[in-house]
Chain A
């Protein structure tokens, strides 16, 4: 916030939050200091380098003024006001260390200490405790009060102490030890203000008050707590403490890096002792997260040292054999040899590769470079296809860039938000917390989702409109909204005339005004009451700054690209593009989906979204790489698999993706993989795809390598190596080994050289370098001559493509339809504690929150079929069937069922179909017609599958 005052590496706690306002000058202990109006005396002092003792204040929550340790004297004012709750005023003269306040502070500390166990030497927070620090700071030397009653002694006067409450260790990652609590309520305020969950309260009053998770009989795990860690971060004592610190001791150094889970891209401090991570804490100057985190990034990093992680390369001749552990040389030689043999026999285009949305930009760049320059074809694709390719296509067509238009800070200036097909509290938790904060401050929310997601209603948040549409009718609903905006004259004519093509808009207006698009006409189809649609449309068009956030519920449909374009249309017609608080923002699933798309992962696009048929672009790479690139687009994943079944595509290198589990129609993927001669899987774990692999190359975690991730706001964040790769090589080095074994002759010694190559070849990255990132912390592309500081907001003075383009968006129902045999619609999503196919999160203590995938069924549908809570049900579609347990809930509408796909045993994708987006082949995960019925356990396919998986995972260790 006040980045110009504090360099981005200073993360002292300044006591109270930053304020914005005109400058005010005051004098503190004789030093003059100028701060924005509204700043507290405490913060002003800290900025002047004077730290006023404090206990109940911390700079990520508003001051509360309860401990009275921070008192100061102000000339001309009576008494000793608390500096944390006193705002500065011009000419104020403050004394922070007078005899009077020193005495008061000592007295306050004495009281606190008289009810605190004095076991500092063995306390987990020893050296990291503010109570300890403050006792030192105020010069406490003895404690005169003999507390007759206390909270910390287990027994008193030979009897059990009724005030003593034992430790709550129910949360897998942190403990709550009431004996050490000073009841400063920092945790309660952090849970409310920062996280927005309101899971904590102070129960009781006076001396009896203490912190409580939920109601009296709840423990931390049973409460509403989502384990974000904000309270642990805020706690000044060992009361709320990471279990990892209890076990390992306090950290001795820290390295700033980026979370490797979701597209929010939170910045973290990896706090280390030697080469062991002691804890990950959210970094306050991280511009995506502003000091907040979720359970995944904060706590779920234990997978890096899970025993399932494979650390040695392995090969086998055929997939029915057990794995053989071999040296890196042998594995790479074997892989390169097989790929070359295939090319010699079946032609250059018989092999290809998959880049990963989890790996760094540099790694992705190298994989596509290897495919294009060494394999000599364009058969590169990425699993972003299975999520956000419609975003790229839709936004490029309408606006001219394949990316979201805003930064996350923009939400602070939003007045009306549409969330469509996304579940931010689970998928993008830190963004959700920032959004909820804005909603509590009065912004309005419209949720368009078949399910009643938590944002629709949770403590202190309530959507103005929830449009629970039938899965597959996004376009119809968006059209109905646009119909209302256009026919009621709510569009922003000045913006459209200025920024778009007015005639084109006229055509669009004629199309959308047709009564068949009206909310009334589409109500039967979409299931959304017409007046709700009208209300939502009016609110969005007239409610001030309007922002639209969308997720996989938009893209993973047969009309994914169309919906993206209809979202863009709505933003343009309401004038909501090009300034803070507005915009169109895809919520990216994986950490580097944006980056992997930017880096040229797609078969038809070179880095920077330039078509392979473009001679000028190819010439840049031809010159630099000394090759002649293929001008024909390569194969997409489904085409590679088709080719494999037909016998024309024989080898694939898959980096950091589990295509068997994350791609639709598992049977088809399995058949394709099984037909290939050389499947190379490069990953941390023996994933499901590896069951069909001939070469397994162990991968490295984000803690073990340098690089960059690009988050959903186009922000390029540094990933920093905090320990040596346990498998021996960072992923970029492994790709280089393979490329070199096939004759590439690459000589990179650090990922920064790869970034330099990206900058040299890709205009939107022209000014990006590791030096710049070191200096700025992060930067948002485009970052080049025209935008030397990067671009927080896009399309500010005009659209990248020139004029914004309105596209006619006709609703075409998916071919997937319900009928008598398959009367229900299945839609899929994710939950907070698990991530994607769960390879990492399933290998952490996060499983306490989600042991298995369940099927949500509306009570009515359940009753009709005699299904009760917790029953095994068989879920069948036209393509397959699987079994899982029932969860009866009215979160879903009648006729709709919902599940997640985090656990491989469920194989929910066995039953999704192979329909896909018309423009980009993005699979239609979000709509499948299904039937459900009682069953007595896993299906035959599930059992056969787990047999096959177990067989193919056998490993023969290398001889010592």
Chain B
């Protein structure tokens, strides 16, 4: 059947990624991260080849993907803004900051702006508890994010 599969290219690439991780003790999480890094998200099409490679069921792969907030099933925007929702930051007004961000972007958690620029994600502690509220844009962590700083970050990201 595989030869007739229109997703064959994708499936082959995923099989390669799986093979690269085959030696690991619990290979599923690293594989999911690697696939998401490469493809940007874990659409349903990736489930079957991963299940096949690890000889587990599609349901199991789906269960794991849906359990972790880190995995996304829709493609993300060009930039990802993460706002800390853990206790220290909450005490410093992170909830209000998040509401501002949602209103400004017109999205809820995990949503992506209409122009595909920014995806908003919650995060639980970035290790910057001393200078909350904390946020992260792509790989860069930012402390003491107030409304002004947030706006700067968003403009920079093209939102």
- Chain A residues with CB under 8 Å of chain B are 197-205, 209, 212-218, 223-224, 457-462, 859, 869, 888-890
Contact = CB atoms under 8 A, between A and B. Distances in A.
Contact of A213 (B2, B59, B66, B67): B59
Nearest to B66: A203
20 contacts: A199-B57, A199-B59, A200-B59, A203-B63, A203-B66, A203-B67, A212-B66, A213-B59, A214-B59, A214-B62, A215-B47, A215-B58, A215-B61, A216-B44, A216-B66, A459-B55, A459-B60, A888-B4, A890-B1, A890-B2
B1 A217 contact: no
Given A224-B57, A459-B51, A459-B55, A204 B1 contact: no
Given A198-B59, A214-B62, A215-B62, 18 more contacts: A199-B59, A201-B60, A203-B63, A204-B66, A205-B67, A205-B68, A213-B59, A215-B61, A216-B62, A217-B44, A457-B55, A460-B55, A460-B56, A461-B55, A859-B3, A888-B4, A890-B1, A890-B2
Counting chain B CB atoms within 10 Å of each CB, the highest count among A215, A217, A869, A890 belongs to A215
A459 B61 CA distance: 11
B67 A204 contact: yes
A113 B30 CA distance: 38
Given A217-B44, A224-B57, A888 B67 contact: no
A888 B1 CA distance: 6
Contacts of B55: 457-462
Contact of A201 (B3, B4, B62, B68): B62
A916 to B, nearest CB: 35
Contacts of A460: 55-56
A223 B2 contact: no
Contacts of B61: 215
Nearest to B64: A201
A165 to B, nearest CB: 14
Q: For chain A, what secondary structure do more than half of its interface residues adopt (helix, strand, loop), or is it mixed?
A: loop
A889 B62 contact: no
A198 B66 contact: no
A263 to B, nearest CB: 28
Contacts of A217: 44
Contacts of A457: 55
B67 A216 contact: no
Interface SS, B side: helix
Contacts of B3: 859, 890
A200 B3 CA distance: 28
Interface in B24-70: 44, 47, 51, 55-63, 66-69
B73 to A, nearest CB: 7
Contacts of B2: 890
A215 B67 contact: no
Contacts of A197: 57
B4 A212 contact: no
B1 A224 contact: no
**Which of A214, A460, A461: most chain B Cβ within 10 A?**
A214
A197 B62 CA distance: 15
Contacts of A213: 59
Nearest to A869: B4
Nearest to A198: B57
Contacts of B73: 216
Contacts of A215: 44, 47, 58-59, 61-62
Find the residue from B51, B62, B68, B73 having the highest chain A CB count within 10 A: B62
Interface in B64-107: 66-69, 73
A224 B66 contact: no
B25 to A, nearest CB: 16
A462 B52 CA distance: 11
A217 B62 CA distance: 10
Contacts of A204: 66-67
Nearest to A223: B59
Contacts of A890: 1-3
A900 to B, nearest CB: 18
Given A204-B67, A859-B3, A224 B58 contact: yes
Residue of B1, B51, B63, B68 with most partner-chain A CB within 10 A: B63
Contacts of A216: 44, 62, 66, 73
B63 A214 contact: no
Nearest to A204: B66
B60 A198 contact: yes
Contact of B63 (A201, A224, A461, A888): A201
Given A215-B47, A216-B44, A459 B57 contact: yes
Contacts of A458: 55
Contacts of A218: 58
Contact of B4 (A199, A223, A859): A859
Nearest to A458: B55
Nearest to A213: B59
B59 A224 contact: yes
Contacts of A869: 4
B62 A212 contact: yes
Contacts of B4: 859, 869, 888
A214 B62 CA distance: 7
Given A199-B57, A224-B57, A212 B63 contact: yes
A359 B124 CA distance: 66
A461 B56 CA distance: 9
Most-contacted residue by chain A among B3, B51, B67 (CB, 10 A)? B67
